[in-house]
Amino acid sequence: DAGITQSPRHKVTETGTPVTLRCHQTENHRYMYWYRQDPGHGLRLIHYSYGVKDTDKGEVSDGYSVSRSKTEDFLLTLESATSSQTSVYFCAMASGGFSDTQYFGPGTRLTVL
């Protein structure tokens, strides 16, 4: 099922350019998350949202910002991409709270040259 999608699925960009990744859900879930997955680091939380316009920082938020103007969309922006932000980015959603089961999107592979 495609209750949560991410776009683009792949992106190559250059250092210093802004990049926005989009997460879209159709389940009306309140909680949404952005993670990055890197070899040797597992899944690390970048930012999360617990409602429209309600967001907070995660473990690795430096260099990233987020916005949530509608329940269904959670945007992750890299203001000025750096090579250290080359990663696979996953979005997730949950309905009932922080310990509720999270449902993940398919991921976006971002390469910063």
Partner 1 sequence: DQQVKQNSPSLSVQEGRISILNCDYTNSMFDYFLWYKKYPAEGPTFLISISSIKDKNEDGRFTVFLNKSAKHLSLHIVPSQPGDSAVYFCAASRSGNTPLVFGKGTRLSVIA
DSSP 102: P
Shortest Å, Cβ 67 to partner 1? 18
- Least CB distance from residue 101 to partner 1, whole Å? 5
Contact between 48 and 60 (Cβ < 8 Å): no
Q: Which is nearer to partner 1, 12 or 98 (CB)?
A: 98
Could you say which DSSP state residue 85 is in? Answer: G
Among 48, 66, 81, 112, binds partner 1 (CB under 8 A): 48
Three-state secondary structure call for residue 83: helix
31 bridge partner residues: 94
Name the residues that contact partner 1, by CB under 8 A.
Answer: 33, 35, 40-45, 48, 58, 90, 92, 97-107
